[in-house]
Structure 1
Amino acid sequence: MRMAELSERSGVAVPTIKFYLREQLLASGERTSPNQAAYDESHVDRLRLVRALLDVGGLSVTAVRAVLAAIDNTELPLDWAFGIAQQALPAVLPDEDDAASARAIDDLIAERGWRIDPNNPGRATAARVLSRYESLGLGHLRQTAGEYLRAAEIVAAADLDSVIASPDRSTQVETVVVGTVLGDSLFAGLRRIAQEQRSHTLFDPTGSECEEAQ
């Protein structure tokens, strides 16, 4: 297919496709003439993936390039793929002001007997959140961290189950990377849905729990 058809099939504008080609987010098509190239279904699939990583995952172009390289590397160990995906996600840097909160996170991790790299980006992110709770005078929200960690363990198990269920290694790596990047957005969306349901249960005057509390 020509670029115009590739644009129509993928929903990505031609100028954007050309940008992705320049940024090496999309492989070049097969050259058919000095000014023409042919593209196939793999280009359509890659364009949809790039758009998902950029628009839903919120990654930068540089991060998307690293993620795509991980997907295309058939020799990459799965745990390395997880690491690349996690490092690609927006994260905060460790800060001395968050040291106490980082120790609190480490204590929760130790209580569960987990083996976690001190440089795991989630550690600094979680510590920063706890510190912000404190600075806003909402230190009691720190008590939710343990429950969040238990919920995260359930989600992580689902993530890994989906990897194991993938039919081949290539799909496993893509599942690891894409699931890690887009899974944060999925969980955030589902959490908002669950919050509404829980709020109806607790605060709706017609709800049974609210009536019992009265």
Structure 2
Amino acid sequence: MKISELSRVSGVPLPTVKYYLREGLLPAGRPLGRNQADYHEAHLRRLRLIRALIDVGGLSVAGVRQVLGAVDDDVVPGHHLLGTAHEAIAGVSRADRSTAGWLAARAEAARVVAARGWRVHERAHALDQLADAIAALRELGQEDMLTLLDGYAEATERLARQEVGLVLARGDRAGMVEGVVTGTVLGEAMLTALRRLAQEHTSATMAP
């Protein structure tokens, strides 16, 4: 198909498609002649993945480039790809990650992980994010929320086993790789939405 048809079928504006091509997010089509190229189903699939990562997952163009670079590298193990996806959605480091309060929260986050016996990198971005939340709760005098940490950890470990098991059950590497990316980025968006819906329901049934 021509680039105009790729734009029409995908629903992505033509200038945006051309931008993704210039940025290297979308592979070039097969040359047909002067200023003409042919695009296939693989381009459409990649374009839809890019839009999902940006529109639903909230990734920046730089984050998408980082993730897709790992996706396209055939030698990157799935576990490392997972780390790349986590890093892409980790966000910008906060400026106050050197205070005594934050460092204490970071140590507490590490203890939670150690207590579960989880095998994670000691410099994992998610540990810093967990410490951010712990430190903020303490600063706000909401320490009672921290009693939920063990419950959060238990629930998310059970969910993670299902997610990883589902992806590993796919026979082809391409499906596994895409599953890691979509499961991490879009799965997080889905989980957040479901949690908010559950909170609304529970509040309606429990609140006076």
TM-score bucket of the superposed structures, by smaller chain: over 0.9
Aligned with residue 122 of structure 1, among 107, 122, 126: 126
| CA apart distance, 1:69 | 1.8
Counterpart among 192, 200, 205 of residue 201 in structure 1: 205
Question: What is the letter of the counterpart of residue 41 of structure 2?
Answer: E
- In our comparison, the structure showing a higher alpha carbon Rg is 1
The 5 A counterparts of 1:151-190 are 151-190=155-194
In structure 1, the partner of 2:28 is 28
Aligned to 1:50: 50
Which residue matches 1:144?
148
- 1:99 maps onto 2:86 in alignment: no
What's the CA shift for 1:92?
5.0
TM-score by length of 1: 0.90
3-state SS of 1:96 partner: coil
Change (3 A) 1:40 1:15: same
Which of 24-33 and 162-171 deviates more?
Answer: 162-171
Q: Displaced runs of 4+ in structure 1, greater than 6 A?
A: none
Find the aligned partners of 2:109 and 2:84 in 1 and give their Cα distance.
22
Matched, 1:19 2:19: yes
Q: Which residue does 2:38 correspond to in 1?
A: 38
Show structure 1 runs of 5+ residues with no match: 206-214
Distance in 2 of aligned mates of 1:93 and 1:20: 27
Task: Using the TM superposition, name which of 156-165 and 49-58 deviates more.
Answer: 156-165
Q: How far apart, CA to CA, are the structure 2 residues paired with 1:168 and 1:26?
A: 21
Structure 1 residue 23: Cα displacement: 0.3
CA distance in 2, matches of 1:125, 1:91: 9
Taking the aligned partners of 1:68 and 1:158, their CA distance within structure 2 comes to 24
Q: TM-score, normalised by structure 2?
A: 0.92
1:63 is paired with a residue whose SS is helix
How far, CA to CA, are the matches of 1:39 and 1:116 in structure 2? 41
Could you tell me which of 103, 119, 137 is aligned with 1:133? Answer: 137
Larger displacement relative to structure 2 (194-203 or 63-72)? 194-203
Q: Deviations over 1:45-90 (max 9, x none)?
A: 1110000111111111121112112222222211111111111113
Note the aligned Cα RMSD (angstroms). Answer: 1.5
Bigger shift: 52-61 or 92-101? 92-101
Q: Percent identity?
A: 41
User: Which residue identity is paired with 2:131?
Assistant: A
AA partner of residue 162 (structure 1)? L
The alpha carbon displacement at 1:200 in A equals 2.9
Q: What is the rounded CA distance, in whole Å, between the counterparts of 1:72 and 1:27 in structure 2? A: 11
Does 2:7 correspond to 1:3?
no
